[in-house]
Amino acid sequence: MAYPLFDPKLSVDALEKQLLAAWKHERLFQKTQDAARYGPPFVFYEGPPTANGRPGIHHVFARTIKDLVCRYHTMLGQGVTRIAGWDTHGLPVEIEVERMLGISGKKQIEAYGVEKFNRLCRENVFKYKADWETLSERIAYWLDYEHPYITYTNDYVETVWWLLKRLYDKALLYRGHKVLPYCPRCGTALSSHELALGYERYRRTPCSSHSRSRAIQAPTGHLDHHTLDAARERRGGGAPGPRVRGVRGGRRALRRGRRSRRAPARGRQAARRGPTVAATAAASS
């Protein structure tokens, strides 16, 4: 049976909405899930957005690609989970609540009450939940919003610890060091997404750290303690080093330290090679 012709007077937007309405009426998403339920599993968990911020056009691009992957594996007869999720952790949630309360920083949060502050964060994290669900439906991004995973629930947190315990039992965890920007105001390291919220390139206001050494300053006063520790080790312990104004200055200071340590080594190598031509000519004269 041929498909009925669309009204040519309808706009592209109207045609899309008409098709979406037909899919919803036919419960097409649920039917595709049921048809491939017992196929080879292709487990897909949506990389969860933070629902206290509105979606943008870049989310449409990313979700279109993810939906293509899921539809492709569904066409192969695989059972695709398509589980939605909500990211409820991170500074964006806390900063939004701080703005709402008119407070700033850890001390004021503690004065307000950590329990009350956390409760507001849990409520605020779903501020734009309806916008995200509407966007997903409008671009035909099929997700199971009835059974999402939420990162603040005990089930999710306990599952993460359970997985870490399994990795530890298999000796797959190790202790290492990673350079991360640090925010003294928030008292936490910052992720790349949190840095993308906007910050200054350099800040010349001196910052103090837990040691007597001068601090290598990351942008906007974010102390990079790992870089600081590395600089202290290269200087031979906790001795105070030169005052460094920025990340680039810190790198130059570290390079100067490496060059000064290499200088005696070059002298030893020259001694092993023997006297130079100029020195030999001077000795013969």
Q: What is the pLDDT of residues 3-14, one digit of tens each?
A: 777 778 889 899
Structure confidence by residue, pLDDT tens digits, 32-87? 999 998 999 999 999 888 888 889 999 999 999 999 999 999 999 999 999 999 98
Torsion sign across C-alpha atoms 103, 108, 113, 119: positive
Across 85-89, 181-185, 193-197, the highest mean pLDDT is recorded for 85-89
* Token reading at 17: 């909405």
Give tens-digit pLDDT for 210-246. 433 343 343 444 433 343 344 444 444 443 434 434 4
As a whole-number percent, the residues of the chain with pLDDT over 70 amount to 68
Least confident of 118-127, 153-162, 191-200: 191-200
pLDDT of residue 183: 82
Task: Please check whether residue 228 is in contact with residue 215, taking contact to mean a CB–CB distance below 8 angstroms.
Answer: yes
Confidence (pLDDT) at 51? 83
Share above pLDDT 90 across residues of the chain, in percent, rounded to a whole number: 44
pLDDT at 112 over 50: yes
- Token pair 């594996």 is at which residue? 73
* pLDDT of 285 above 70: no
pLDDT recorded at residue 208: 40
The predicted structure's pLDDT at residue 251: 52
Cα–Cα distance measured from residue 234 to residue 63, given in angstroms and rounded to the nearest whole number: 46
Say yes or no to pLDDT of 275 above 90. Answer: no
Q: How far is CA 277 from CA 96, 204, 264, 265, in A?
A: 72, 51, 21, 21
Q: What is the pLDDT of residue 242?
A: 40
**What pLDDT is stored for residue 60 in this prediction?**
94
* pLDDT computed for residue 76 by the predictor: 94
**Contact assessment for residue 95 and residue 56, using Cβ atoms and an 8 Å cutoff:** no
Q: How far apart are CA 247 and CA 26, in angstroms?
A: 58
Encode burial over 39-63: b for 16+ CB neighbours within 10 A, e otherwise.
eeebebebebbbbbbebeeebeeeb
99/53 Cα distance (integer angstroms): 14
Entry pTM? 0.61
Grade residue 282 by pLDDT with cuts at 50, 70 and 90.
very low
> What pLDDT is recorded for position 2?
73
Split at pLDDT 50, 70, 90, the class of 209 is: very low
Q: Which residue has the higher pLDDT, 92 or 155?
A: 155
**Average per-residue pLDDT in the chain?**
76
Output the pLDDT for position 247.
Answer: 44
